[in-house]
Structure 1
Amino acid sequence: MAIPTKPLSLMRHVFKRVFPIVNEELSYWYERAKQIPNDELRKQAIASIEKKTFHCEGGSILSLLGEADYKKIIKFIVAYQTISDYLDNLCDRSTSLDAIDFEQLHLSMKHSVTVGASPENYYCFRKDQNDGGYLEELVATCQSILEQSPFYGQIKDYLIELCQYYCDLQVHKHVTIEERESRLMNWFQKQKQWIPKMEWYEFSACSGSTLGIFCLVSYSFRKDFPDIPFEPIKAGYFPYIQGLHILLDYFIDQEEDQTEGDLNFCSYYSDSEHMAERLVFFFNQAEKHIQQIPHAGFHRLINRGLLGVYLSDLKVAKKDERHKKVVKQLLKSGGATGYFFYWNRKAYEALKKWKPVGSGIKVST
């Protein structure tokens, strides 16, 4: 199976190969979530699948880098992303604001990328406890796939590093409103010597994506992995592709986050022009690093696809003229490929309204 480098070829693979397996995996976890004994944990687990299916679908596109092993890789991606979305719900929409609780919950994510790590009681600092083994099974699934990767040992440290960034972010941004900014700023001060020049809220955004992990896991199943230059992949995905990914996510959610009182990293830009300038910068830096990565055509589709997919979201249509100018500027940067994914996503979302996918899963973003 050749790695696609053209939009139409990619979409054929996505609809024919990737999405059906994603839905099979999600259907299993959905049924598993419905069996959770604790009411609150069950509610959040079900909601995380019903409302965030798009995360698993998008992330699983990177499985195509693994060619013949893409089904195994999708199994890992869906399990890992399901943990991420479930824990995000538990921190964001549930019963706790305790940093220690959040750290313990996210220990499960670190165990997911650490083959041989023994499970713990990830809920020990919260009142809701009994998930019927749901989270532990998700962790074990991730470990079982990584154990089959021929080159897991070469990517392990970097998987843990990216995972740690993500976990730290989740802890800092979900504590009490009064603590969030100072915790994130202090965290950034300790990390900024290791990363390219940016603002604290941009670093936070870069830390919030799982795409780098999915890319590396997919590559680690390839026989030619030892011949693939590692550094450009790392530098391209973290910070730039991951940063673009999450900044776009926050861009479309600005009004919703303001209503809910949630932290939104795009709100820290001085105005819409500044925000557009920085988002274009992240896009262009990603394009620059992609030139040095094998299968550059595929990674370029991922980068440009992010623009089309996020900017086609229904929330964008409700934005004011200033923000619509940002959308036009960003889409222009993505060129014809960006526009292709923009219209493709609109068509796909219209179709999904009429066709629920999976076993009882109402697919939505």
Structure 2
Amino acid sequence: MAIPTKPLSLMRQVFMRVFPIVSEELSYWHERAKQIPNDELRKQAIASIENKTFHCQGGSILSLLAEADYKKIIKFIVAYQTISDYLDNLCDRSTSLDPADFEQLHLSMKHSVTVGASCENYYCYRADQNDGGYLEELVLTCQSILKQSPFYGGIKDYLIELCQYYCDLQVHKHVTIEEREARLINWFQKHQTSIPEMEWYEFSACSGSTLGIFCLVSYSFRQDFPDIPFEPIKTGYFPYVQGLHILLDYFIDQEEDQTEGDLNFCSYYSDSDHMADRLVFFFNQAEKHIEQIPHAGFHKLINRGLLGVYLSDLKVGKKDDRHKKVVKQLLKSGGPTGYFFYWNRKAYETVKKWKPAVSQ
């Protein structure tokens, strides 16, 4: 089937082709997680799959770029995203605040995008050790798919670069509250000259998405990869599509993060107008760069879909009038396509919540 460029054709392929394969892959890893000997590691592995299924579902939409090989890409995306979600749980809910521990855990992600890299003991700085080979199997699954890519050599360096941004972010943001902001600012300053102008918390957000990696891996399975302009993919997804993705994620989680004492990058904007202006800026810049990529219509669906899916989240409905004004401004930027995904998700959530009355 052709790569979709219209909302309805995208939704049809997502529900008929993508989500069923994602479910199969997640079912395998869910059963595998249940076999982990260590109680804490097993608990976090299972929770990361059961509570974050939508991460794998959303990321796997990019597999459609690979057309005939989309099932292979889904296998990679689900394994890689499962590592990401599992490690996020281990760091978020860890009694450890040791950056060496977080670095060692996330070394598994770098090995996942480095074909031929040997696995290590990723748990060596923590008490919980025995995962029964779970994390190593995830890493080797990613490598096994990348080995099959005819153009892996053309994307390898950039995969590692994007992965390194992500891993560095996870290390810096999970240390003690007293250290994390200074570490993130110092990290940003080291990269400031090589990225477009932005604030340190926006750079952190741009680093926290896996969409660029999924896009590149999908393209690397296409026979016309040598004819595809590589630079607009790089500059479109990082920083702009990825930045929009994670800033929207933080936007809907502001109240929750404040209650939990978690870092939230949207809290650093001076007010809601400033935040709206910057989110619209990221959206518009992403649209501008996407224009230069083949299958631009598909990438615009991804970009505008981010607005609809995140802004329709039930948590947004609980926000005050200032935040609802931000939602209105962002949806206006996304146009009819953004509204399509917004109302589609709203309808889905309503159906999911509704239960028939039980007759007595």
Both proteins in one fold, TM over 0.5? yes
Q: What CA distance in whole angstroms lies between the structure 1 residues aligned with 2:6 and 2:355? A: 27
Q: What CA distance in whole angstroms lies between the structure 1 residues aligned with 2:241 and 2:104? A: 28
Following superposition, the deviation at residue 168 of structure 1 comes to 0.1
Q: What CA distance in whole angstroms lies between the structure 2 residues aligned with 1:94 and 1:39? A: 14
Following superposition, the deviation at residue 351 of structure 1 comes to 4.1
8 Å CA contact 1:50–1:364 kept in 2: the answer is no
Following superposition, the deviation at residue 347 of structure 1 comes to 2.4
8 Å CA contact 1:290–1:300 kept in 2: the answer is yes
Following superposition, the deviation at residue 346 of structure 1 comes to 2.0
8 Å CA contact 1:63–1:74 kept in 2: the answer is yes
Following superposition, the deviation at residue 191 of structure 1 comes to 0.4
Following superposition, the deviation at residue 353 of structure 1 comes to 5.0
Query: Map of 1:63-74 to 2, 5 A cutoff?
Result: 63-74=63-74
- What secondary structure does 2:130 align onto? coil
Deviates more, 1:46-55 or 1:243-252: 46-55
2:148 is aligned to: 148
Taking only aligned residues, the RMSD between alpha carbons, in angstroms, comes to: 2.9
Q: How many residues are aligned here?
A: 359
Following superposition, the deviation at residue 344 of structure 1 comes to 1.2
Q: What CA distance in whole angstroms lies between the structure 2 residues aligned with 1:79 and 1:349? A: 27
- What secondary structure does 1:18 align onto? helix
Following superposition, the deviation at residue 42 of structure 1 comes to 0.7
- What secondary structure does 1:95 align onto? coil
Following superposition, the deviation at residue 67 of structure 1 comes to 0.2
8 Å CA contact 1:51–1:364 kept in 2: the answer is no
Deviations 1:289-333 (A, max 9, x none): 011010000000000000000001010011011001000100010
Change (3 A) 1:116 1:9: same
Q: What CA distance in whole angstroms lies between the structure 2 residues aligned with 1:311 and 1:149? A: 35
Deviations 1:75-122 (A, max 9, x none): 000000000000000001122111000000000000000000000000
Following superposition, the deviation at residue 132 of structure 1 comes to 0.6
Following superposition, the deviation at residue 53 of structure 1 comes to 0.5
8 Å CA contact 1:60–1:78 kept in 2: the answer is yes
Deviations 1:192-251 (A, max 9, x none): 110000000000000000000000000000000000000000000000000000000000
Following superposition, the deviation at residue 281 of structure 1 comes to 0.1
- What secondary structure does 2:294 align onto? coil
Change (3 A) 1:300 1:11: same
Following superposition, the deviation at residue 355 of structure 1 comes to 11
Q: TM-score, normalised by structure 1?
A: 0.96
Following superposition, the deviation at residue 348 of structure 1 comes to 2.6
- What secondary structure does 2:129 align onto? coil
8 Å CA contact 1:252–1:315 kept in 2: the answer is yes
Q: What CA distance in whole angstroms lies between the structure 2 residues aligned with 1:16 and 1:27? A: 17
1:99 is aligned to: 99
1:222 is aligned to: 222
Q: What CA distance in whole angstroms lies between the structure 2 residues aligned with 1:197 and 1:352? A: 42
Change (3 A) 1:353 1:286: same
Q: Percent identity?
A: 90
1:352 is aligned to: 352
Change (3 A) 1:24 1:364: farther
Unaligned 5+ residue runs, structure 1? 357-362
Change (3 A) 1:354 1:236: same
Change (3 A) 1:20 1:351: farther
Residue 364 of structure 1 pairs with residue 344 of structure 2: no
2:330 is aligned to: 330
Q: What CA distance in whole angstroms lies between the structure 1 residues aligned with 2:118 and 2:288? A: 40
Change (3 A) 1:294 1:151: same
Deviations 1:272-296 (A, max 9, x none): 0000000000000000001101000
Q: What CA distance in whole angstroms lies between the structure 1 residues aligned with 2:295 and 2:244? A: 20
2:269 is aligned to: 269
Q: TM-score, normalised by structure 2?
A: 0.98
Change (3 A) 1:309 1:263: same
8 Å CA contact 1:52–1:364 kept in 2: the answer is no
Change (3 A) 1:59 1:355: farther
Unaligned 5+ residue runs, structure 2? none
Change (3 A) 1:23 1:353: farther
Q: Taking CA–CA contacts closer than 8 Å with sequence separation of 6 or more, which of the two structures ends up with the larger relative contact order?
A: 1
2:2 is aligned to: 2
- What secondary structure does 1:120 align onto? coil
Deviations 1:100-158 (A, max 9, x none): 00000000000000000000000000000001110000000000000000000100000
8 Å CA contact 1:188–1:203 kept in 2: the answer is yes
